[in-house]
Structure 1
Amino acid sequence: MGAEQRELHDPEEESPFSESYVGGNGAPGKNQRRSNGNGALGQSGRDRFFAISGAICHRVLRRSARISIEGLERIPKSGGCLLVCNHISHFDPILLGMESPRPIDYVADGKLFNDLVLSQILGALNVIPVDRNRQDPRAAKTAVGRLKQGRIVGLFPERGIRHGKASILLGARLNPSAAALARMANAPVLPAVVVGSDRLYQLRSWRRPPRVFVSFGELLTLAPGEGRGSFTERIHERLLSLFESLVKRYEIDPIDFPHSAQERWKEEGRARK
């Protein structure tokens, strides 16, 4: 990984979780009042639903892919922490959570809550909706509150699925949202990397299980007086280190680096010819 791949965003670049946008009690504006979709389930019910969903996904995916998950022991047994991971497919939150000893409250695009059925499912999984197109103090307040309650909050700071040079593993700069949230909640960051999950978009992969890798790293804590930019850099460096270790240890071919679903579907078409 060259030095040019480690370039980061300006540490003062705003994000949906910018500290400067969570003033006072962090109350949302009129245009930001929306339901988290938690429905009638209590917290214990939502946690049970997460566990049951994870068990089902575990059975399906373990039969459909050769999955290597390492570092589960690094997930803290108690206390709040911010899980920060790259994002290459819709399977990523499932892979991260299906063997986690604790529930993970993911932050996800608020547009997903526009669908009535999906919003109920996401609410039952404790998902936190965020508006990616503007500063969202309500989402920040909710995430910080969950962290202070001692929960694990899962964040994909790339603001969507990213691949190639748009991926933080292959050249893109890391958005400071993770560092901002961790600072606001005074919570440690649990870095994680997923590689190969985009292979699951190929139908033939479900007949010939692809290799998929998940790695959880050591917790990162904010040093006294450390700024958001410095912490962002340390988080990014740890993510790159986890990725490089996976590539070296499992001899992962560049063809298995993050690719878009469209590219995987093209591979599927070529394989049929």
Structure 2
Amino acid sequence: MNLYPLGKALSTGFAKTTFRLEVHGKEHVPKTGGVLLCCNHKSNLDPVILGVGCPREVRYMAKEELFKAPAGKWLMESLKVIPVKRGQSDKLALRKGLAVLQEGEVYGMFPEGTRSKTGELGEGLGGAGFFALRSNAAIVPSAVIGDYRMFGKLKLAFGPPISFESAREEKLSSKEATELIMSKISALIEQYKE
């Protein structure tokens, strides 16, 4: 059972009324093929906002603890979320993430790995770079801009896909590739902040 369409419909109404969500740059998300969607991470609501704004269904990775309770497991599996072991290299989760991209789906990632405690963009980990270098997916930077305040204004921006041809030729490390992605996310935040 795929709960995604229902969840998206309900979440869209919530985001637009509660946070007055504005979405910019949807045209930068390719209509077909694998897409690695990389976004800053400010709140537990970021995956919801990214899912609302993206014109395609987004798959995510989430900490395996969310799968422990039967209800949580049912919800995560209904939304096709991939469990990941935190604090260690989870090779099975990495293989599953690559498979999502190879199957032509959209994979949403938060390169910082955890929520920013200050709201400022943090340092990216190597995971996003790993997927960018080892797949032929379009790498689309995105950013949540603004605060999650009731009836405030929240923006979600998508940037043009990042070309990774030269990065692959230069044999960049996963960390260096992530830094490239983070620089594009930072530029989006600057472009759309008020």
* TM-score over 0.5 for the pair: yes
The CA distance in 2 between the partners of 1:164 and 1:242, in whole Å, is 18
- 1:96 maps to 50
1:105 aligns with 2:59: yes
Is 1:180 aligned to residue 130 of structure 2? yes
**Matching residue of 1:235:** 181
Looking at structure 2, the residues matched to 196 and 115 of structure 1 have their Cα atoms a distance apart, in angstroms, of 33
SS in 2 for 1:98: helix
Amino acid paired to 1:180: F
> Is this contact kept in 2: 1:107–1:156, CA < 8 A?
no
| 1:57-136 matches, cutoff 5 A | 57-136=11-90
Stretch moving more, 138-147 or 90-99: 90-99
CA contact 1:157–1:177 (8 Å) conserved in 2: yes
Write the distance in 1 (CA, Å) between the matches of 2:15 and 2:107.
Answer: 23
Q: Could you list the runs of 4 or more consecutive aligned residues of structure 1 that deviate by over 6 angstroms after TM superposition?
A: none
**CA distance change for structure 1 residues 210 and 96 in 2, over 3 Å: closer, same or farther?**
same
Partner of 2:163: 221
Name stretches of at least 5 consecutive residues in structure 2 with no aligned partner: none
Corresponding residue pairs, total: 190
Report the equivalent of 1:195: 145
From 139, 152, 168, give the equivalent of 1:210: 152
1:159 paired with 2:109, answer: no
1: CA distance, partners of 2:38 / 2:192: 17
**2:166 maps to 1:245:** no
Q: TM-score, normalised by structure 1?
A: 0.66
Aligned mates of 2:129, 2:105 — CA distance in 1 = 17
Q: Distance in 2 between matches of 1:112 and 1:158?
A: 19
CA contact (8 A) 2:139 2:163 kept: yes
State the match for 1:52 in structure 2.
6
In angstroms, what is the RMSD of aligned CA positions? 1.6
Deviations 1:68-118 (A, max 9, x none): 110111111000011111111111111111242211001111111112101
